[in-house]
Structure 1
Amino acid sequence: MKKLAIFDFDGTLFDSIHDVLICFNKTLEFYGFSTLTREELIPCLGGNIDEITSLVLGENSSPENVEKVKESYLELYNPSKKELTVPFENAHEVLKKLQDNNILLAVNSNRLTYSLEELVGKYFSDIDFIAIEGHSYGNPSKPDPYGAKRIIEKANVDDDEAVYIGDSITDIMTAQNAGIDCILVKWGYAKKEDLQNDYPSKIIDDINELVEIL
């Protein structure tokens, strides 16, 4: 029986790509780099902000370009209203049902922690997450199991009592590196090859399935 559900954020709980795309494209255009379509941005996602920026820049990636584009992007993104960043349909209802059934809930993402706390607080204020672990500079980012292990330790559960729920190869590898089960979701930004990975114990189409599974 699972006692702890660790959720990825982008592509699992929240549909967030639209605001990210707008701010990255404004930044790229400002510096004279090529802008991206939604489909071109999706493969860049999953890593920490430095890794994402490097992939966004493609052949123009260099330490100098990554730093200036990242900083300019964050200057646009952080104070923005993020009106297009919203929970996936039924996400709140499912979290509430899991919480009511005494499943401990947590978030682990490569998004910076303060950004996670802002959006989780806005939409899920009545959900008592045991931990919200984002990426902090100086600490390893996913797929390193650093954040997941911190959550498991805080929850005081065994590894076989925890499950990681995400939408990408980064999440699969995080679960694998942490030595816990993984559920892969299909409503986010998963690539075709991610859905063919044999590590996840379940691959689901509908977030409501989590209630029965857990």
Structure 2
Amino acid sequence: MDNYKMILFDLDGTLSDPKEGITKSVQYALEKMGMVETDFDKLKRFIGPPLQVSFAEYYNFDEEHTQRAIDFYRDRFKETGMFENKLYSNIPLLLKSLKEQQYTLVVATSKPTVFSKQILKYFNIDQYFDLIVGSNLDGTRTSKTDIIQYILDKYKDHQQDDFIMIGDRKHDIIGAKNTGIDSIGVTYGYGSFEEISQSKPTYIVKNVEQLKDILMTSRVS
């Protein structure tokens, strides 16, 4: 077991379950774009990847229409959607335990930083994180690779093997691989076991308890 020191957490599908807020905000955006979508399970695909990617991939929006849809999405999300959300069981306990063991905890999410900070504060878990890094509202720094690299550049005094990325979608695992760090794929979120396993993370866990077992075995030296 490696002695990790820097633990990077994805937000949606890893720390919290944002299904209601995200799917309803996507539905609202589509309605504003003249499209009716009643299948919320279909909209679960939007949880995790950048909105720019999802609107273009799933509804064939060009760049202009994608940006309009994102603007509509954010109108609802910032007022209501971000709070239609719940922490996964035992996440606060996990974060508290890790901080007590002197780990440095960082959020690495494709969600805009400004919304991410509000959500973490809403759940009263912002206190556990030394840094919160998301995308920019202007559409830059949306890929998980760019986000992780930004974090690595912030902690240049650490080696790559000090870091590990935790997430529930292939984008988290691919971002970790692209930046040369280890990863843990969690299957309790919104990525299937097939999606996670095909991305070949360093570890795969099915619940928060298994996640804690792996991380607490790796004590900061």
Say whether the fold is shared (TM-score over 0.5).
yes
Aligned 8 A contact 1:142 1:171 in 2: no
Question: How far apart are the structure 1 equivalents of 2:70 and 2:126?
Answer: 33
- Partner of residue 11, structure 1: 13
Q: Which moved more, 1:167-176 or 1:41-50?
A: 41-50
1:177 maps to which residue?
A: 178
**SS of aligned partner of 2:94:** helix
Change (3 A) 1:197 1:177: same
- Residues 139, 198 of structure 1: alpha-carbon distance in 2 compared, 3 angstrom cutoff: closer
Report the equivalent of 1:71.
Answer: 71
Secondary structure of the corresponding residue to residue 144 of structure 2: coil
Deviations 1:113-154 (A, max 9, x none): 10000011121346331211100136432232x321232343
State the distance in 1 between where 2:80 and 2:120 align: 16
Taking only the aligned residue pairs, the percentage that are identical comes to 24
Assess, with a 3 A threshold, how the Cα gap between structure 1 residues 82 and 147 changes in structure 2: closer, same or farther: closer
- Does structure 2 retain, via aligned residues, the 8 Å contact 1:21–1:36? no
Aligned counterpart in structure 2 of residue 43 of structure 1, from 42, 45, 48? 45
Distance in 2 separating the partners of 1:123 and 1:169: 26
Aligned in 2, Cα 1:143/1:134: closer, same or farther, shift over 3 Å?
A: closer
**Residues 44, 55 of structure 1: 8 Å contact kept:** no
Q: How does 1:46-195 map to 2 (within 5 A)?
A: 46-56=48-58, 58-59=59-60, 61-80=61-80, 82-125=82-125, 127-136=127-136, 137=138, 139-144=140-145, 146-155=146-155, 156-195=157-196
Query: What is the DSSP-based 3-state SS (H/G/I as helix, E as strand, rest coil) of the residue aligned with 2:128?
Result: coil
Return the offset for 1:80.
1.7
Q: Structure 2 CA distance, aligned partners of 1:82 and 1:132?
A: 16
Measured in 1, the distance between the counterparts of 2:83 and 2:94 equals: 22
Of the structure 1 ranges 135-144 and 94-103, higher mean CA displacement relative to structure 2 is found in: 135-144
Q: Does structure 1 residue 34 correspond to structure 2 residue 51?
A: no
Contact 1:8–1:171 (Cα < 8 Å) also in 2: yes
Residue 131 of structure 1 aligns with an amino acid whose one-letter code is L
Residue 36 (structure 1) shift: 4.8
Contact 2:174 2:199 in 1 (8 A): no
Unaligned runs of 5+ in 2: 216-221
> 1:8, 1:62 → 2: CA distance?
27
Q: Deviations over 1:131-184 (max 9, x none)?
A: 11100136432232x321232343432111110000011001010011000100
* CA drift at 1:42: 2.7
Gaps of 5+ in 1: none
Q: In the alignment, what sits opposite 2:219?
A: none
Aligned residue type for 1:200: P
Question: Structure 2 length normalisation: TM-score?
Answer: 0.87
Q: For residues 125 and 35 of structure 1, what CA distance do their matches in structure 2 show?
A: 33
Contact 1:176 1:199 in 2 (8 A): no
Residue identity in the other structure for 1:123: F
User: Could you tell me how far apart the structure 2 residues matched to 1:192 and 1:212 are?
Assistant: 19
**Following the alignment from structure 2 to structure 1, what is the Cα–Cα distance between the partners of residues 199 and 109?**
22
Aligned length: 211
2:152 aligned partner, one-letter code: I
Q: CA shift at 1:198, angstroms?
A: 5.6
